[in-house]
């Protein structure tokens, strides 16, 4: 691989609950005169997936419980938002500096269990993560195979902060049609040293690379990565989650 292209898909309409997101993405490619090719990776942001799947909550419909009110009072947060976050969490990892770090029901560890109020259509509403991001990716991939006749991989992404470093990056939270890790164990470096544990999170790298053309305000929620020979396989988000017994930071 000497060249990889990243092509943003522009012109998608505002996605609403019940919309056929896969059809909208495929139509955007047609209108952009972009023909999907076998081996492409379609990278789609979580927000439009959540919107299409109806994973939107109006905070006016939320009645916070006592625990949510306690957290909200301590950290000067909206108790209704805290209640939604708690409902999406398997456990609270840490609360400090006004930040609530949670483990989601998917096993992701992130701020506010992935609940987000940005880039939603109406103020006072929040978007939740898809119930099953892998299934969301598979549905889009299957639709592309059926209608465009191509075998592609799909990555669903979300924006996370990172320990030890400033700034946010896009991570993969769902995959279909690829192995999200490239395992170099058993390979040899140029000096002849056998690699023992090196694994590259290529699905995360694809997610971050695609964000360069998607941005946060450009209304480009999907992108095609072309020219990357990703590892084939039936991967899932679970492949990217470290076993708690091997996690030194739990």
Answer yes or no: do 140 and 233 share one domain: yes
181 located within any domain: yes
**Is residue 128 exposed (0-12), middle (13-18) or buried (19+ Cβ within 10 Å)?**
buried
Same domain, 204 and 179: yes
> Residue 191: what pLDDT?
82
212 with 223: CB under 8 angstroms? no
Number of structural domains, the chain?
A: 2
Tell me if 246 is assigned to some domain: no
Residue 45 φ/ψ, nearest 5 degrees: -75, 150
pLDDT of the residue at 1: 67
Whether residues 136 and 31 fall in one domain: yes
C-alpha to C-alpha distances, 114 to 97, 131, 152, 204, nearest whole angstrom: 18, 12, 27, 16
Q: Is residue 135 part of a domain?
A: yes
Tell me the average pLDDT across 46-62.
Answer: 96
**Same structural domain for residues 150 and 117?**
no
Q: What residues contact 61, with CB distance under 8 A and at least 6 apart?
A: none
- CATH number at 180 reads 3.30.1330.100
Q: How far is CA 178 from the centre of its chain?
A: 15
Residue 152 lies inside a defined structural domain of this protein: yes
Domain boundary among 98, 126, 154: 126
**186-226: per-residue pLDDT in tens?**
787 888 887 777 789 999 999 999 999 998 878 899 999 99
Query: What is the model's pTM?
Result: 0.93
77-116 pLDDT, tens digit per residue, is: 999 999 999 999 999 999 888 789 999 999 999 999 999 9
Indicate the average pLDDT of the chain. Answer: 93
* Domain identity same for 221 and 139: yes
In 3D, which of 214, 136, 202, 207 has the Cα closest to residue 170?
207
Helix 79-87 with 66-75: angle, nearest 10 deg: 120
Phi first, then psi: what are they for 165, rounded to 5°? -135, 145
Query: 141 and 229 in one domain?
Result: yes
Asked if 233 and 165 sit in the same domain, the reply is yes
Cβ contacts of residue 190 below 8 Å, gap of 6+? none
The CATH number linked to 77 is: 3.90.1660.10
Q: Is residue 250 part of a domain?
A: no
Rounded percentage of the chain residues whose pLDDT exceeds 70: 99
The residue assigned the tokens 């609940």 is 115
- The more confidently predicted of residues 122 and 229 is 229
Tell me: do 194 and 144 sit in the same domain: yes
**pLDDT tens digits, one per residue of 131-188:** 999 999 999 999 999 999 999 999 999 999 988 899 999 999 999 999 999 987 778 7
Contact 173, 108 (CB under 8 A): yes
Domain that holds residue 65: 57-126
Whether 41 and 64 share a structural domain: no
With residue 146 as reference, give the H or E element that holds it.
Answer: helix 133-147
97 and 197 fall within a common domain: no
The answer to whether position 249 is within a domain reads no
Q: Which of 104, 126, 148 is the last residue of a domain?
A: 126
Contact of 40 with 6, CB cutoff 8 Å: no
Please tell me whether residues 141 and 197 are part of one structural domain.
yes
Kindly state whether residues 22 and 80 are assigned to the same domain. Answer: no
Q: With contact defined as beta carbons under 8 Å apart, do 29 and 35 qualify?
A: yes
pLDDT tier, 248 (very low <50, low <70, confident <90, very high otherwise): confident
Q: How far apart are CA 5 and CA 89, in angstroms?
A: 37
* Average confidence (pLDDT) over 28-52: 97
- Name the residue among 115, 120, 86 with its Cα closest to residue 16: 120
**Domain C-terminal end among 79, 100, 126:** 126
């Amino acid at each position: 691989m000497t060249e990889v292209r990243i092509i943003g898909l522009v012109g998608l309409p505002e996605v609403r609950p019940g919309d056929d997101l896969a059809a909208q993405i495929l139509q955007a490619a047609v209108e952009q005169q972009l023909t999907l090719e076998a081996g492409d990776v379609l990278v789609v942001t979580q927000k439009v997936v959540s919107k299409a799947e109806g994973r939107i909550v109006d905070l006016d419909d939320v009645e916070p419980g006592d625990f949510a009110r306690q957290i909200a009072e301590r950290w000067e947060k909206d108790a209704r938002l805290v209640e939604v976050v708690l409902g999406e969490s398997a456990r609270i990892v840490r609360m400090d500096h006004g930040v609530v770090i949670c483990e989601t029901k998917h096993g992701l560890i992130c701020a506010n269990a992935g609940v987000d109020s940005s880039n939603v259509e109406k103020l006072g509403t929040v978007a939740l993560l898809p119930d099953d991001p892998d299934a969301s990716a598979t549905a889009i991939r299957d639709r592309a195979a059926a209608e465009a006749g191509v075998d592609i991989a799909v990555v669903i992404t979300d924006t996370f902060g990172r320990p030890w470093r400033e700034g946010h990056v896009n991570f993969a939270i769902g995959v279909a049609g690829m192995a999200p890790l490239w395992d170099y164990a058993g390979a040899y470096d140029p000096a002849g040293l056998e690699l023992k544990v090196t694994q590259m999170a290529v699905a995360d790298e694809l997610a971050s690379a695609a964000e360069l053309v998607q941005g946060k305000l450009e209304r480009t929620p999907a992108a095609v990565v072309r020219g990357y020979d990703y590892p084939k396989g039936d991967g899932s988000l679970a492949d990217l989650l470290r076993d708690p017994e091997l996690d030194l930071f739990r």
